[in-house]
């Protein structure tokens, strides 16, 4: 029974190995891949083409491995980049020499093993792609442009439902103008073919947002609110006094506008304040005082009647009998 279990475990391990190799992704495009034995470490080497004088960056899982600059024909190379056993994926990011567009493509290979190196040749990177504006208004024009190998045929895919084909000039520059764009969000990719050799598939698209009239107003309001919020933050962080004065001014302005819109509020508030001034000590100190006591204090005292009516007044004589 134990032998049967071990046999089935052995079959499962073989199947997993076959599946992992079958799932190794090779993007569309022609290039040569070879695995060679090495003495010591494990290395990655590759050569290919991009747009002339473009900057090419090699990364793996977000970690920078190396960078280089293509020559005036677009040729670039990475030679013996140290990698670890099990290395199976890397990405190439290209930025054209005018910094108007960029492209990114990723490649999966068979996992590297101990004392083996991966070597790839004749990689053709996708064209760089850029936009004259990333946010536009409905009805406007938007220019799409970038660089690739000189003379290559470039296909621009728009939302995977529309495609246009243009020709790159002798410098590798291509462009296309989208006219009277409609409101919505657009995703754009660029591929190229040079001497019947297609470029690799791009992984990073260019994005365009076209606003309708309502969205334009909403966007403008959000920008104004953001600027206002930033101003408040700056005022608060730089000078608390100015921030307090600004808040006071804002409060008075709101109060003024309310009185303009609702003049009856002003009269009600004035009457309320006037009533409270009659008993200023009650209103200010909030101490109730008996009104009878107040009236008694304020009343004038009366003189009492004389107790002895026989008391003579000055300059008065009394007749004796």
Please write the tens of the pLDDT for every residue from 39-98.
447 999 999 999 999 999 999 999 999 999 999 999 999 999 999 999 999 999 999 999
Is-contact 188 101, C-beta < 8 A?
no
Q: How much of the chain exceeds pLDDT 70, in percent?
A: 69
Is-contact 148 168, C-beta < 8 A?
yes
Is-contact 85 184, C-beta < 8 A?
no
The CA–CA distances, whole Å, from 195 to 92, 120, 169 equal: 22, 19, 15
Query: Which pLDDT band holds residue 304 (cuts at 50, 70, 90)?
Result: low
| 109-112: long-range pairs with CB below 8 Å, 24+ | 109/24, 109/26, 109/33, 110/21, 110/24, 110/35, 111/20, 111/24, 111/85, 111/86, 111/87, 112/35, 112/42, 112/44, 112/83, 112/84, 112/85, 112/86, 112/87, 112/88
pLDDT at 236: 62
Tell me: the pLDDT tens digits for 119-130? Answer: 999 999 999 999
Residues 6+ apart with CB under 8 A from 175: 143, 144, 145, 166
Task: Please report where in the chains the tokens 């009277």 appear, as a residue.
Answer: 180
Query: Comparing 5-14, 119-128, 144-153, 236-245, which segment has the lowest mean pLDDT?
Result: 5-14
Q: Three-state DSSP class for 4? A: helix
């Amino acid at each position: 029974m134990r032998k049967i279990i071990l046999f089935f475990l052995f079959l499962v391990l073989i199947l997993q190995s076959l599946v992992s190799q079958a799932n190794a992704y090779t993007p569309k495009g022609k290039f040569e891949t070879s695995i060679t034995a090495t003495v010591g470490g494990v290395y990655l080497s590759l050569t290919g083409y991009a747009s002339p004088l473009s900057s090419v960056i090699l990364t793996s899982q977000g970690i920078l491995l190396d960078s280089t600059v293509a020559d005036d024909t677009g040729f670039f190379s990475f030679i013996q980049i140290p990698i670890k056993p099990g290395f199976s994926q890397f990405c190439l990011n290209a930025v054209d020499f005018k910094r108007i567009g960029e492209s990114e493509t990723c490649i999966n290979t068979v996992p590297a093993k101990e004392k083996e190196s991966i070597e790839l040749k004749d990689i053709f990177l996708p064209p760089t792609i850029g936009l004259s504006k990333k946010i536009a208004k409905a009805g406007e024009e938007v220019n799409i442009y970038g660089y690739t190998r000189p003379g290559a045929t470039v296909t621009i895919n728009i939302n995977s439902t529309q495609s246009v084909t243009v020709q790159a000039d002798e410098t590798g520059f291509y462009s296309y103008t989208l006219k009277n764009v409609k409101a919505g969000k657009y995703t754009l990719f660029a591929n190229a073919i040079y001497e019947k050799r297609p470029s690799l598939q791009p992984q990073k698209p260019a994005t365009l947002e076209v606003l309708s009239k309502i969205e334009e107003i909403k966007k403008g309001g959000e920008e104004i609110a953001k600027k206002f919020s930033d101003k408040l933050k700056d005022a608060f962080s730089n000078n608390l006094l100015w921030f307090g004065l600004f808040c006071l001014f804002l409060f008075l302005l709101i109060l003024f506008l309310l009185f303009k819109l609702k003049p009856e509020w002003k009269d009600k508030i004035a009457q309320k304040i006037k009533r409270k001034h009659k008993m200023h000590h009650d209103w200010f100190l909030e101490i109730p005082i008996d009104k009878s006591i107040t009236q008694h204090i304020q009343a004038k005292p009366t003189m009492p009647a004389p107790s002895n009516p026989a008391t003579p007044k000055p300059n008065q004589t009394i007749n004796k009998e």
